Amino acid sequence: MTEPASHPDLERLEASVIGRVQGVGFRYHVLRRATELGLTGWVANEHDGSVRCRAEGPRSDLDALVEALETGPAGAVVDRVIVGFGPATGSLGPFGGRSEGHRGD
């Protein structure tokens, strides 16, 4: 199977959010914002208590999603957001929530 072609106008965001981010509606907060921005990807709780996010879209929209990750919903305490950017692959579907510990696209 061949890899999807990269999309030069789009980028991929890989982010991990550390803090009190589970059990406070954090994934729904991210899902709502990513959907408003028209991004593809997913958000998932991790076994270590963090939240992981993978998204693709225009850089300005990804930056807006990072802002949502940094603030979180009421009740969340974000200690740190680890962010990385790379080329988009086009392999992500409509933005959604994933089960805990999800690893693939």
Which residues are the active-site residues? 27, 45
Element (H, E) at 96: strand 96-98
In terms of phi and psi (left: phi > 0; alpha: psi -120 to 50; beta: otherwise), the region of 43 is beta
DSSP assignment of 43-95 equals EEE-TTS-EEEEEEE-HHHHHHHHHHHHH-STT-EEEEEEEEEEEE-S---B-
Reading the block at residue 92, the tokens are 């992500």
